[in-house]
């Protein structure tokens, strides 16, 4: 079993859900398929979806909802 | 009470603009900032700076408690909200006043009254300001729909009363079309929203966006003529002018007087803007909304009238009567403002935060650059992409356009992509020169006339 990091391509604010009223795209521990949206990053009032490149299990988020994020920063880890 | 100190509850270029106005009046300035904005220009220019919270606007610039606490601790006389953020939040205005300070803007009640689309439309109608013709309320039968369409003319929009976000809207072109579409629209609305109620509104095709700058002190009300903001992308203004392009004098008079009537109706205090759609063909204008704050594009008005709107806001908020008299406000020449954003116009306007490595600002009597930039400044990703506004004045519009094109060549911002190339192309565009624009013009033009290759080849030629 190895861990795969999902990194942010952009600077901005990280959100785990598409709006405050909807559940998060992924809960901690969820399985992830390649292409799944795991969060969005707001950059200067525009929103960019973050998708998983690889499939995996047991996702662990390292960035909280609504927290600032830098390019290259690890958003989450999945297990393979 | 003359204001001796002011807290600026904003960031970016408008915070810099407010500090400059306050300094000119000898007012002490206190700048609030988020943790991401400690290095911003307004912080460097202000007499004092206060960190009010984390980068997310909700936790800092939109946090009423944090802003009020900073203002109290700094013992300021007044709070200037700028634009955006808390500027049109009536509860914030009330909280500032309740804390014993002056809010640089209208009362909380006026902000709420004019901020609500329905009540603002009612105020406009009471003041005799034309609103977009329509049913006003629900249309119950096809007979009623006929009568309304005869009054409004075609095309007319048939809309689900319960709808929202553009759903359940049909544009109807003819009477026959109406007979076919009306029952369908009603059935569709009933299915989609559980409510078959419809209302109707005239469609203003190829409308221009024209707005009037108003100013009041609660007893005296003036206008400072109009601006044209028809060049928009995704409903965001990109380029603004004063005065509006070839607006007939009789229309201008009616338009500006209607805005003053609206200000008088609510006994308005401070700077405000009444926005309209203008139909060039019929020469009719229709109320859209009121913005109860200083606008991004206020400098074009300042350039043609010579009035410093932000200084006047501070004076009026301190209790001074309006220093402007309608007969003394005499517009001269033409001004254009280009919004310079940290966006890549060749990559679908992708936002581009980053560090400014070089900044060269052209100077001149008729040139003004309102900005937050300095060399070495890192633009944070958490806020909007506006970096600055280039404003150029000319005796005539063509002189202004020519000067603008030259000035844009001299404006250098390096380190991040910006919208300067877009403005360079617009400033030399025949369509812009001939005033052939409306609010949907720019989006089409970007598809057909603005590509990297075309822009580059034009530069070579």
Residue B123 in domain: no
pLDDT above 80: residue B169 = no
Instruction: Provide the mean pLDDT of chain B.
Output: 93
Closest by CA position to B241, among listed B409, B394, B129, B345: B394
User: Which residues of chain B make contact with A45, given a CB cutoff of 8 A?
Assistant: 351, 383-385
Identify whether residues B293 and B379 lie together within a single domain: yes
Residue B88 in 3-state DSSP? Answer: coil
Query: In this predicted model, what pLDDT tens digit does every residue of B14-61 receive, in sequence order?
Result: 999 999 999 999 999 999 999 999 999 999 999 999 999 999 999 999
- With respect to residue B96, please indicate whether it lies within any of the assigned structural domains: yes
Quote the pLDDT of residue B163: 64
- B112 falls within a domain: no
Does a structural domain hold residue B111? no
Taking CB atoms and an 8 Å cutoff, what residues of chain B touch A73? none
Per-run averaged pLDDT (10 residues), chain A, 80 residues = 92 92 94 96 93 95 95 95
B213 to chain A, closest Cα gap in Å: 27
The pLDDT, as a whole number, for residue B167 is: 62
Tell me which residue range forms the domain holding B155.
Answer: 142-202
Chain B within 8 Å of A46 (Cβ-Cβ)? Answer: yes
Based on the fold, state whether residues B242 and B280 are members of the same structural domain: yes
For B411-449, write each residue's pLDDT tens digit.
999 999 999 999 999 999 999 999 988 998 999 999 988
> Does residue B442 form part of some domain?
yes
The pLDDT of B186-191, averaged and rounded, is 82
The reply to whether B135 falls in a domain is: no
Contacts of B385 in chain A (CB under 8 A): 44-45
* Contact (CB<8Å) B383/A66: no
Contact B56 A12 (CB under 8 A): no
Chain A: residue nearest B59 by CA? A66
B186 lies in the same domain as B235: no
For chain B, the straight-line distance linking the first and the last C-alpha, in angstroms and rounded, comes to 60
pLDDT by residue (tens digit) across B265-300?
A: 999 999 999 999 999 989 999 999 999 999 999 999
Of B183, B202, B221, the residue that ends a domain is B202
- Answer yes or no: is pLDDT of B458 > 80: no
B351 touches A at CB < 8 Å: yes
Give a yes or no: residue B408 inside a domain. Answer: yes
Cβ atoms of residues B318 and B330 within 8 Å: no
Kindly state whether residues B197 and B214 are assigned to the same domain. Answer: no
DSSP 3-state of B449: helix
Higher pLDDT pick, B90 / B456: B90
Task: Say yes or no: B228 and B158 in one domain.
Answer: no
In a domain, B109, yes or no: no
Establish whether B267 is a catalytic residue. no
pLDDT at B192 over 50: yes
Q: Which residue in B293, B339, B368, B397 is the catalytic one?
A: B293
Has residue B119 got a pLDDT over 60? yes
Judgement on whether residues B161 and B290 belong to the same structural domain of the protein: no
Distance from CA of A35 to the nearest CA of B (A): 22
| Domain A3-79, second-level architecture | Beta Barrel (2.40)
Q: What is the CATH number of the domain that holds B453?
A: 3.30.470.20
Looking at the structure, tell me whether residues B316 and B354 fall in a common domain: yes
Whether the predicted pLDDT of B172 surpasses 80: yes
Q: What is the CATH number of the domain that holds B198?
A: 3.30.1490.20
**For chain B, what is the domain count?**
3
Domain boundaries, chain A: 3-79
Using a CB-CB cut-off of 8 Å, the residues of chain B touching A10 are: 381
Give the 3-state secondary structure of residue B232.
strand
ipTM, two decimals? 0.85
Mark whether B90 and B64 lie in a shared domain: yes
Burial per residue of B252-278, b for 16 or more beta-carbon CB atoms within 10 angstroms, e otherwise: beebbebbbbbbebbebbbbbbbbbbb
Q: How crowded is the C-beta side of B397, counted as CA atoms within 13 Å?
A: 15
B100 and B149 inside one domain: no
- In terms of domains, do B147 and B85 share one? no
Per-residue confidence band for B461, with pLDDT thresholds at 50, 70 and 90: very low
């Amino acid at each position: 079993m190895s861990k795969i990091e999902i990194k942010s391509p952009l600077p901005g604010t990280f959100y785990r859900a598409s709006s405050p009223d909807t559940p998060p795209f992924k809960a901690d521990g969820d399985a992830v398929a390649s292409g799944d949206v795991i969060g969005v990053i707001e950059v200067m009032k525009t929103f960019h979806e973050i998708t998983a490149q690889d499939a995996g299990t047991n996702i662990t988020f390292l960035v909280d909802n609504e927290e600032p994020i830098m390019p290259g920063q690890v958003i989450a880890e999945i297990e393979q | 009470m003359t204001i001796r100190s002011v807290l600026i509850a904003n960031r970016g270029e408008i915070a810099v603009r407010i500090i400059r106005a306050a300094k000119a009046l000898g007012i002490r300035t206190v700048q609030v900032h988020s943790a991401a904005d400690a290095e911003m220009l307004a912080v460097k220019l202000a007499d004092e700076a206060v960190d009010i919270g984390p980068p997310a606007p909700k936790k800092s610039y939109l946090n009423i408690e944090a802003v009020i606490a900073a203002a109290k601790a700094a013992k300021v006389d007044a709070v200037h909200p700028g634009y955006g953020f808390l500027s049109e939040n009536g509860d914030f205005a009330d909280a500032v006043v309740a804390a014993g300070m002056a809010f640089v803007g209208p009362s909380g009640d006026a902000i709420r009254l004019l901020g609500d689309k329905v009540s603002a439309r009612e105020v406009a109608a009471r003041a005799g300001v034309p609103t977009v013709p329509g049913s006003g309320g629900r249309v119950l039968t096809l007979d009623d729909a006929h009568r309304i369409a005869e009054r409004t003319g075609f095309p007319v929009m048939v809309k689900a009363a319960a709808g929202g976000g553009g759903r359940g809207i049909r544009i109807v072109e003819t009477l026959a079309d109406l007979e076919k579409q009306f029952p369908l629209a009603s059935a569709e609305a009933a299915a989609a929203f559980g409510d078959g109620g419809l209302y109707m509104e005239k469609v203003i095709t190829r409308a221009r966006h024209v707005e009037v700058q108003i100013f009041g002190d609660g007893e005296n009300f003036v206008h400072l003529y109009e601006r044209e903001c028809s060049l928009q992308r995704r409903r965001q203004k990109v380029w603004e002018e004063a005065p509006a392009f070839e607006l007939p004098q009789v229309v201008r008079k009616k338009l500006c007087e209607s805005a003053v009537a609206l200000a008088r109706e609510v006994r308005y205090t401070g700077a405000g803007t009444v926005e309209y759609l203008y139909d060039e063909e019929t020469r009719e204008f229709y109320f859209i909304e009121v913005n109860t704050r200083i606008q991004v594009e206020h400098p074009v008005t300042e350039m043609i009238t010579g009035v410093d709107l932000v200084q006047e806001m501070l004076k009026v908020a301190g209790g001074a009567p309006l220093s402007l008299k309608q007969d003394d406000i005499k517009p001269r020449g033409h001004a254009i403002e280009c919004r310079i954003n940290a966006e890549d116009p060749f990559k679908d306007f992708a936002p581009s935060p980053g560090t400014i490595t070089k900044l060269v600002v052209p100077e001149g009597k008729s040139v003004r650059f309102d900005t937050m930039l300095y060399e070495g400044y890192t633009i944070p990703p958490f806020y909007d992409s506006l970096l600055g506004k280039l404003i150029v004045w000319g005796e005539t519009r063509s002189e202004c356009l020519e000067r603008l094109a030259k000035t844009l060549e001299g404006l250098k911002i390096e380190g991040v992509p910006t919208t300067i190339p877009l403005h360079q192309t617009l400033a030399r565009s025949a369509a812009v020169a001939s005033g052939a624009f409306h609010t949907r013009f720019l989006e089409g033009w970007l598809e057909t006339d603005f590509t990297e290759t075309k822009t580059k080849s034009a530069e070579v030629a």
